[in-house]
Amino acid sequence: MAFPVDMPSPAHIRTFIEPGYLQQRLDEISQGEAPRRIEVGVTHSGESRVARVADDANGEPEPFRTGCITKLFTGALLRQLVCQGRVGIDSPVAEYLGDATAHAAGVYSRITLQHLLDHTHGLDDSALCGMPQLANGRIDAERLTRQLVAAERLFSPGTLYSYSNAGAWLIAAVLEKLTGTTWRALLRERLFRPLRLGAGQGSAPAGEAAAARICPSVGEDLAVSVIDLLRFLRYAMSYDPLSWPTAIFRLPGFSPFERGICNGWKSYGRNWFGHHSTWPGASVLVRIRPAHGTALVVASRQQPALLVAARLFGEILPEFSGLIMPRRLTSDEIEAMDSHRYAGIYRSASESVSISCCADGGLQMEVDSTRRKRPSSFGKRFSTGLRPAADDIFLPEPGAAGRFPFVQFIAHDRGSRRYLWNGRCIWPKRPGSSPVRQAHQ
């Protein structure tokens, strides 16, 4: 799949920091819709603006759960130690976790901190329901490392990308080992207090009554305001700005928005980096463009934050509405396609995906998540037909695009290994596997 060449956007973001303009635009896109909370923040060249619409009369700012944006906080804490010379970003995990990795030294001596940061470590955490902890609140590093090597590795470290929690959990364990304190305390003392994040909020680690359920990967009870996130993003952009566009690890396959990963930040092309967190009833989007000193935050309980960002910024920042869709195959291309080469079983520690061929040239996908401990969009089992598109991409039937908005079949290691990719995670094809039955439609 060919992506557009990354070029500076012609957009002038300064328009959005003119007094009143951001609120005016937010009011315009919210007209005629049920009033629920949307908050937006913009920083550019040292100036910031925040606007909001609310579902209550007061319309006062309130914290949003950070969700998986918390991974950026964990990465920032690691970056602090890198800048202090206390850790080497390309050093192996085993060097810092010591005895906790002795049982699998061969695995953890090949996985570096950079691999953890960028989700290129190859560890499969899909069967883990959470991060193991000791009675003192610290991460149980030995139990965690044992649980992670209990599953077959997805790929060799540094060769592919698959998004997960394992990297942030292990980074937090390294931070605790080096500093002798809990990750939560580090978050509070080295990030939240210096940046004045979450001031006055008991649920945030700046408060003395920090919630016990705070995870270095998915946040859990961690909540911050849009203003807090803008402060953090300004801090993050203070990392050497010239390093951002040059060290991107490309995704293994197609994605409608993301292009790769850079120092734990997802890359969206045109020198934009960020993250996106979604949970039931709300979502938060953060983006930075370090070369231009620009940061954007969209938090929404009304509609997906990505859709709000596209409506709000799309006209002058086309990269926010530049959805790339795969090309549908012609009938001649479908007829000439050998769909049998995709058939087989693709499996992770918690999930099995069976691909079988249909008479019309399409495929049938059956997903078995009975071993999956985390909630699934479709429950434990579901099945859907797949329609062929270009570049070995297949699209699911309408209504079945939760965890699988598409599937793509990827060859790796000179074609000797094959994977199924859904834009976020990969499932290795098991050697010698074949579907039990032939599907028909």
In a domain, residue 346? The reply is yes
In a domain, residue 384? The reply is yes
Would you state the pLDDT for residue 335?
A: 85
In a domain, residue 371? The reply is yes
Q: Which domain holds residue 348?
A: 331-428
In this structure, the chain runs to a length of 441
In a domain, residue 336? The reply is yes
**15, 264 in Cβ contact below 8 A?**
no
**Long-range contact pairs involving 309-318 (C-beta distance under 8 Å, separation at least 24):** 309/285, 311/29, 312/25, 312/26, 312/29, 312/40, 313/11, 313/16, 316/11, 316/12, 316/13, 316/15, 317/9, 317/11, 317/13, 318/9, 318/11
pTM, entire model: 0.91
| Two structure tokens written together for 53 | 């619409």
CATH number of the domain encompassing residue 365:
2.40.128
In a domain, residue 403? The reply is yes
For 120, 172, 361, the CA distances from 115, given in Å and listed in that order, are 5, 14, 38
- The structural domain count of the chain equals 1
In a domain, residue 415? The reply is yes
| Two structure tokens written together for 234 | 């300004």
In a domain, residue 391? The reply is yes
**Long-range contact pairs involving 397-403 (C-beta distance under 8 Å, separation at least 24):** 402/377, 402/378, 403/376, 403/377, 403/378
Place of tokens 């890359």: 267
In a domain, residue 122? The reply is no
Walk along the chain (441 residues) and give the pLDDT tens digit of each residue: 333 334 444 457 888 989 999 999 999 988 877 667 899 999 998 899 999 998 665 556 778 999 999 999 999 999 999 999 999 999 999 999 999 999 999 999 999 999 999 999 999 999 998 999 999 989 999 999 999 999 999 999 999 999 999 999 999 999 999 999 999 999 999 999 999 998 534 444 544 444 457 899 998 889 999 999 999 999 999 876 556 666 799 999 999 889 999 999 999 988 899 999 998 888 999 999 988 889 999 999 878 999 999 999 988 887 776 677 888 888 888 888 888 999 999 999 999 999 999 877 789 999 998 776 655 554 578 899 998 999 999 999 876 657 788 999 999 877 778 999 999 999 999 886 655 444 444
